[in-house]
A and B are shown apart, each in its own frame.
Chain A
Amino acid sequence: MIVANKGKIKTMAENLSESGPGRSLWKDARMRFIQNKAATISLFILLSIVLFSFIGPYFAVWSYEQIDWNAMGSAARVGMPSIESGHYFGTDDLGRDLYSRVIQGTQISLMVGVLGATVAVIVGTLYGATSGYLGGKTDQIMMRIVDILMSIPYMFVLILLLVVFGRSIGMLFIGIGLLSWLDMSRIVRGQTLNLKNKEFIEAARVTGVSDFKIITRHIVPNLLGIVAVYATLLVPGIILAESFISFLGLGVQEPSTSWGALIKEGAGTISYDTEWQLLFPLAFFVVSLFCFYFIGDGLRDALDPKER
């Protein structure tokens, strides 16, 4: 039998490794993400859009609710995009400045998406992790509740909610937030079930670590990867849902606006030679959604390289 020679191992190890911080899985993931060009560029573009929505108003000549009486009713002739008139993106049919309105729409749409996804992630993660870790009957009941909620046609309920309780951003949040955590909780529960039987969880239990510490220290950090990926893919989903509702005319209320509402207005007037009314909000909408999906993809590849 080979006898372990401690001295020899020591020198061997010393040759192999200098002291210093190791590469954590997060660092590895960051490196892989940066190597993914599409994702990095998307992140850059998305950050520019966010930055633009905050800095943009300082360059605006018109506010988003101010009406340019000259352009009102004759947007096709007077309201075209021009630097001289101060309407960089042109005006809408009522003579309101589209530049300011797109900025406002960007803020609202991104806020709805990010806040909605945050609510969904928090509720979904807690619900799913609890259900998965406790297991047994509790798990059965909690997951059947999710099944029942999932079987409700969600767009229909959302529309009903908005019609019955009136249109408001708050109602929209509740409606979207209430239903978008369902998928999240299922994903998290599946991952938790998978993690629960890993040997390092067992090792912690044998040592006598409490259930609460096991969930916070061992289960949640190992879930974060998948949660982060799903969250970035959830944001565009919620933006789309909000846009769809706004497109139906049930979303945010005038004079506030969102991408969906702007696109709807632009689409309505497309036959009057005012294509900028559609194209500007649509460009922001499409580019942002692309960015979110690319980032989500990049994150997924970065966080679990084995799955590729």
Chain B
Amino acid sequence: MNNQPILEVKNLKVNFDVSSEGDMPWTKAKKLQAVNDISFSLSAGETLGVVGESGCGKSTLARAIVKMVPAEAGEVIWLGNDLLGLSHSETRPYRKQIQMIFQDPLASLNPRMNIGEIIAEPLRTHYPKTPEADVQARVIDVMNKVGLLDNLMNRYPHEFSGGQCQRIGIARALILKPKLIICDEPVSALDVSIQAQVVNLLMDLQEEMKLALIFIAHDLSVVKHISTKIMVLYLGNMVELAKSDDIYKSPSHPYTQALISAVPIPDPNVEKNKDLILIEGDLPSPINPPSGCVFRTRCQKAQEVCALEKPEFKGIAQDHSVACHFHD
């Protein structure tokens, strides 16, 4: 496998301005740190799983990479070019190499267009001169690839089930033969058996097309199944990044440990006797994050130094980094 990374994200930061009600027009808006100082790299054929609870910046990270939300600082290096520095029109050629799959399968398809038109849209946008027969052939080809019958081409999104809609979304993402697909919680809205089908489909396609994937989810068992690397986010900060197996075998950050202990085990005896690490309290406000370590307000190991000093995100083993003063 080619180990040259195709995507490198360095110190990415995304802030949102939040103006509360009753603010005067001249009051300075508060900053909400949605994504704070995130770095990772991804090679072809690899999958990065991103996990974390709601509101921890998973989707914002994905949208910042494709420039749907403006980044405050940092770099997104795609095959040697920093995407964030490019203008709107300069970004366009790169758009065909990075595609996205969305959480709500039905909402991501235009209800007034039929399936053929929806799947062909990226092709027609980037190669407007493609002859109609070629477009049709490509659409049929990609529909077969994702396990859809090509005679469904003239049907409309509302005539399909959630799983089929997600396949249509995948077909649309594949038609330009991209190098990276960002999956923003692609299976959260589907039921479990369909989840398995879609995840397996993605893995098959990844192998076949040497795709890189960024797979966002909050279901750890799904992420474990598909990912080569896993990144755990908390309040917009990276807390742990390691190979999939390492993170399950030896989670080092207290937050990761708690997350993994919460994954249900499909064996009642084991499930009954396992130690569940409970996290107390709520997610702190990202407008006013805790000083020092962001997790300290809910951490069992928290000590004085945690409030004073932000833990450095440092490697503790090969391909295993963690941000904690007292990691295991």
Residues of A within 8 A of B (CB): 1-4, 6, 9-10, 13-14, 17-25, 198-200, 202-210, 213, 217-218, 221-222
List which B141-181 residues lie within 8 A (CB) of chain A. Answer: 147-149, 151-152, 154-156, 158-159, 169, 172
B107 touches A209 (CB 8 A): no
Whether B41 is near chain A, meaning CB under 8 Å from some CB there, is no
Whether B225 is near chain A, meaning CB under 8 Å from some CB there, is yes
| A200-B169 Cα distance, complex, nearest whole Å | 10
Contacting residues, chain B, for A206 (C-beta < 8 A): 66, 68, 95, 98-100
Q: Which of B121-129, B229-237, B267-275, B291-299 participates in binding chain A?
A: B121-129
A23 touches B159 (CB 8 A): yes
A24 touches B196 (CB 8 A): no
Q: Binding site of A, secondary structure by majority: helix, strand, loop or mixed?
A: helix
B156 touches A24 (CB 8 A): yes
Smallest CB gap from B108: residue in A: A199
Smallest CB gap from B193: residue in A: A2
Contacting residues, chain B, for A18 (C-beta < 8 A): 151
Whether B300 is near chain A, meaning CB under 8 Å from some CB there, is no
Could you mark each residue 115-135 of chain B with 1 if its beta carbon is under 8 Å from any beta carbon of chain A, else 0?
100000110011000000000
Contacting residues, chain A, for B112 (C-beta < 8 A): 24-25, 221-222
B100 touches A200 (CB 8 A): no
In the complex, how many angstroms separate the beta carbon of B143 from the nearest chain A beta carbon?
11
A25 touches B156 (CB 8 A): yes
List the 5 shortest-distance A-B pairs measured between CB atoms, nearest first: A22-B155, A19-B151, A208-B95, A199-B108, A4-B197
- Check A200/B109 contact, CB under 8 A, given A2-B197, A4-B197: yes
B110 touches A218 (CB 8 A): yes
Residues of B within 8 A of A (CB): 66, 68, 91-92, 95-96, 98-100, 102-104, 107-115, 121-122, 125-126, 147-149, 151-152, 154-156, 158-159, 169, 172, 193, 196-197, 200-201, 225
Contacting residues, chain A, for B159 (C-beta < 8 A): 22-23
30 A-B contacts (beta carbon < 8 Å): A1-B196, A4-B147, A4-B197, A9-B147, A10-B147, A13-B149, A13-B152, A17-B151, A17-B155, A19-B151, A19-B154, A20-B151, A20-B154, A21-B154, A21-B155, A23-B155, A23-B156, A24-B114, A25-B111, A25-B158, A199-B102, A199-B108, A200-B109, A202-B68, A203-B169, A205-B68, A206-B68, A207-B125, A210-B125, A221-B113
Contacting residues, chain B, for A17 (C-beta < 8 A): 149, 151-152, 155
Beyond A25-B156, A202-B100, 10 extra complex contacts between A and B, CB < 8 Å: A3-B196, A10-B147, A22-B152, A22-B154, A23-B155, A25-B111, A199-B102, A203-B100, A207-B99, A213-B125
